[in-house]
Amino acid sequence: MPTFRIASPEDADAHAMLVDYFTLRAAEFPGGSYSPTYPTAAAFRAPDGVFLLLEDDGAIVGCGGIRRVAMPDGESDVFEVKHVFLRPATRGRGWGRLLLDELERRAGALGALALVLDTHHTLEAAGHLYRRSGFAETPPYNANPNATRWYRKDLTPAPH
């Protein structure tokens, strides 16, 4: 069973995973106009976020993070899911759902009342995962040039 490790997205092993993620996204992106933005450590540091590596038998097989995001309407306590990625050889094992569930759990522990994310419509498996995990399409909350769909999931506040 894979395990989670908190990392800075600027750590060498996390950065290497992000390079693989962005390289694959750029190769698959329609029209070849993908614009990667490498995350900074500050955006994924508690209490405003976390970046996780997914490890299996000592190998890094995936990553993903959450970060507090400013919503256009001023809503607070919203966290954005970012950079959810599994190495292609590990897909189909349920680890995407495992990673997304862990990010949601950690967001709730940080006080999130909602999760949002953006994606591209060509990422059909990702869209299916998000919908199965309780996310619903929502109007755009950002101007990400790589996104064509935006999702939201309201969370139940953690008991104190």
- In sequence order, which ranges of 29-89 are alpha helices (DSSP H)? none
Question: 87-91 — which CB contacts under 8 Å span 24+ positions?
Answer: 87/20, 87/61, 87/62, 88/24, 90/56, 90/61, 90/62, 91/125
116 neighbors 92 (Cβ within 8 angstroms): no
149-154/136-137 β-pairing: antiparallel
- DSSP bridge partners of 137: 151
Give me the count of residues in the chain: 160
The pLDDT value recorded for residue 158 is 61
pTM of the model: 0.93
* Structural domains in the chain, sorted by start: 3-154 (3.40.630.30)
Nearest in space to 151 (alpha carbons), one of 118, 121, 124, 129: 118
pLDDT value at 153 more than 60: yes
pLDDT classification of 146: cutoffs 50, 70, 90: confident
The pLDDT value recorded for residue 28 is 79
Q: pLDDT tens digits, residue range 83-95? A: 999 999 998 999 9
